[in-house]
Amino acid sequence: MGDRAAKDALYAEFAAVGKALGSHKRLEMLDLLAQGPRSVEALASAADLGISTCSAHLQTLREAGLVETRRDGRRIYYSLAADDVAKLWDNLRRVALRHRPHTQLARAAYLGPDDTEAVTTEALLQRIHDGDVVVVDVRPTPEFAGGHLPGAVHIPVEELAGRLAELPVDREIIAYCRGQYCVLAHDAVRLLTMRGYRASRARDGALEWRLSGLLAHDGAA
């Protein structure tokens, strides 16, 4: 029989990870960092937090071993410690969706009405191979630099209305963003459809494709 104190110490290590996950803002940060490295300032802005509050959350995540840092001049950049942290975040979402009924209601309230066609990753890759579509990454620039589908056109969603002339009107446009719980692609497809384009969105996004090894990198974030 094992030593009780040793067993308690082991489970305390597991609990430290669980405790770090016990904040909706820290989960949002993991979601953002799954897109690529971010400075504290960029994370604070994206998560709508003050710098000091953001730094405190990041310190909790770092102490739990979920994120790591690098310094570039005066700035400190955070990234996920490894892809298994992204997988942990993905699994947490799946468990919540399966076992907490209100998760789907909250998702629907955030993403809006089910008025955009979703394309599976398998179908998307086939259409890319056939040359039938133009794929548009509508995430912010640092996230595109952190990893994107090869050949994707990058137009951040807030710039889309002013850059429609860059997209062909005679081909289907497929927009993608951070993943299955990201509203950006939904908003992009609604705009494109309203402007007369044939548009749909990828069901998955950068998080799922990071875990599948589908993302390309052509610059540091």
Q: Which residues are identified as catalytic? A: 177
Q: How far apart are CA 22 and CA 125, in angstroms?
A: 36
Rounded Cα distance, 173 and 185, in Å? 11
Rounded to whole angstroms, the Cα distance separating 183 from 114 reads 12
Distance CA 209, CA 153 (A): 16
Question: Judging by DSSP bridges, how do beta strands 75-80 and 38-39 pair with one another?
Answer: antiparallel
User: Do the beta carbons of residue 37 and residue 213 sit within 8 Å?
Assistant: no
165: amino acid identity, one letter:
A
Tell me the angle at which helices 24-33 and 51-63 cross, rounded to the nearest 10 degrees.
80
